[in-house]
Amino acid sequence: MEEKVLSRMDTQGLIELARKLIQIQSVNPPADYSEISSYLRETLTSIGMETRILEGSPGKRNVFGLRRGSSRECALLLSGHMDVVAAGDKKNWGHDPFGAEIHDGWLWGRGAADMKAALAAQIYAAKAVIDSQAGLSSAFMLGCTVDDETAGAWGMKYAVEKGLSYIGWPKPSLHILGEANDLNITTSFKGRLWARISTKGKAAHGGEPDLGINAIDQMIKLIQRFRVVPRLTHPLMGKDTMNLGLLQGGERVNIVADSCTAHIDLRMCAPGSADEYEKALRGIIEDIKREDPRFEVLEFEIYERRDPIEMDQDHPALEVMKECIRSGNKKEPRFLGTLSAGDLYHTMKNGIPGAWIGPGDAQFLHRVDERIQVREIVEAAKIYALLILRFCR
């Protein structure tokens, strides 16, 4: 049956679908999903899947497809997100970012690796299984989600916590997310803490700074102290990091800044937690206040928090994943860790184990001249088809 399914893989149709998805400009923001969600639903319906739109908020149109088996259980969810980051100035690209051109064995364009080629591979894997009339004991599901690039609440989070149960579809028992990892197995994911902090100063003439309190200086003092907080390392996740992503303060060069706002992105390894790191950051603020009576923080808000998360390395599904990759591209996969779980975070936090297996090299993500090897898209489709067969038969 596996040979029959793989022999029915329509590689030309697969690549054309990947090209079409890249050509649909689902940039987030502004996150207009009207065209791509309609197209994906039509595509899933055309290959023989039941389809539903899960829309928890107006315009946030997640597309899900279900292929039922002989039992009511759903053994596998394959998913990817349909939104992409902005392409920036097209003049900096060697190829049109939305042209989906193929040159020298590579498919070029925004979303090629992140992650429209993976979506296309999942769809054509499902098509090959359905066309082969493989008898499945368990159902499988395809999910095309929104707002991953902005960590929104109406994508996979909504689908797994409310959307699927609302329409009466079964809860998957395993989730494979097609994020780019060169078709390896990513099982370990850093947590993250995004914080907005504002310091207060006292305005004065720029030529007499001692008469004021410079809020930018106060922020620099705070950030320097924050940098001692990241301290953990992990064999797969790497090390804790902190990035000062935004710094805004002052009005004019000749005025002492009376306010400053910073945004930080702190990524933590297991066994750390978001709560632990928030406590440490708040403790530093209190320490500085005791040292400097003039130091004042107007705002300290955590607007994104995720704990580190890992799949059990002894989970039996991991061996099946390895076997499918070996069969699909004759390669020995590696176990990896990375900086964020993406959509997988929401399923894992809701009791569904999972991992990343996706085509594409992560070095091309969010960059000019994003691209993916055509060969790897085809290999991904074969691996996804084998995953469906081995988990659902």
Tens digit of pLDDT for each residue in 72-98? 999 999 999 999 999 999 999 999 999
CB atoms under 10 Å from CB of 134, counted, come to: 19
CA 72 – CA 85 distance, rounded (Å)? 37
Which residues does the chain have with pLDDT short of 70? none
Can you tell me whether residue 121 is helix, strand or coil? helix
Please tell me the predicted confidence (pLDDT) of residue 26: 98
Please tell me the predicted confidence (pLDDT) of residue 336: 98
Please tell me the predicted confidence (pLDDT) of residue 55: 98
CA 357 – CA 181 distance, rounded (Å)? 6
For residue 29, say if its preceding peptide bond is cis, omega within 30 degrees of 0: yes
- Closest by CA to 205, choosing from 261, 249, 258, 259, is 258
What confidence tens digit (pLDDT) does each residue in 132-148 have?
Answer: 999 999 999 999 999 99
Cβ-based neighbours of 184, under 8 Å, separated by 6 or more: 325, 333, 334, 335, 336, 357
Please tell me the predicted confidence (pLDDT) of residue 269: 97
2-188+310-392 topology per CATH: Aminopeptidase (3.40.630)
* Alpha-carbon distance values, 240 to 26, 188, 209, 272 (Å): 32, 14, 36, 9
CA 23 – CA 102 distance, rounded (Å)? 13
Please tell me the predicted confidence (pLDDT) of residue 171: 96
The residues spanned by each domain of the chain are 2-188+310-392, 191-306
* Percent share of the chain, pLDDT over 90: 98
pTM of the model: 0.93
Quote the longest CA-to-CA distance of the chain: 81
- Closest by CA to 238, choosing from 357, 367, 340, 362, is 340
Which CATH number fits the domain 191-306, given the four candidates 1.10.3720.10, 2.40.50.140, 3.40.640.10, 3.30.70.360?
A: 3.30.70.360
* Alpha-carbon distance values, 14 to 45, 131, 209, 233, 329 (Å): 16, 14, 64, 40, 17
CA 3 – CA 73 distance, rounded (Å)? 25
Three-class HEC string of 219-248: HHHHHHHHCCCCCCEECCCEECEEEEEEEE
Q: How many residues does the chain have?
A: 393
Please tell me the predicted confidence (pLDDT) of residue 29: 96
